[in-house]
A = this chain, B = another copy of it.
Amino acid sequence: MNDEHFMKQALEEARKAFEDGEVPIGAVVVQQNRIIGRGHNNVERLNDCTAHAEMIALTSAFNTLGSKYLMDATLYVTVEPCLMCAGALYWSKIGKIVYAAPDEKNSYRRATGERSPFHPKTQLIQGPYKEESLQLMKAFFEQRR
């Protein structure tokens, strides 16, 4: 099982968000080829602007492991994390972050510029399904207009 397999799972989560009328972003947390946490945007349903895919997937992973750190885990997320989620990922000491689509407007880079907000040991890469993730976001915001 590879990045493609797990990003497809994150994209499945994003599609669930889309169907629920939520900004379509999804995430899974993987450790030793096993999904230990998953989530999608739930801001509208929970009336809670902190209910991002990554936050939900992280909390679900902490619960699965009974640990508050994720040094050996990888987060797959369909869109580059925002500042809040970047801060949460920092605290989690997560081993690796794979995102599909960059987000020029809302990513953590808006506030950090050239500085990395992540833990020094966290690896960050742009992974598969960029076009599919962007397309889903675009379709969502077009239908909202």
Which residue from chain B places its CB closest to the CB of A87 in the assembled complex? B84
Interface size class of A (residues with CB under 8 A): 20 to 34
A113: chain B residues within 8 A (beta carbon) = 113, 115
- Nearest-neighbour CB distance to chain B for A114, whole angstroms, equals 9
B47 touches A88 (CB 8 A): no
Output the residue of A47, A108, A111 with the most chain B CB within 10 A. Answer: A111
Which one of B46, B50, B68, B117 lies within 8 Å of A91 (CB-CB)?
Answer: B50
Closest to A81 in B: B87
Using CB atoms and an 8 Å cutoff, list the residues of chain A in contact with chain B.
Answer: 43-44, 46-50, 55, 58-59, 62-63, 66-69, 82-88, 90-92, 108, 111-113, 115-117
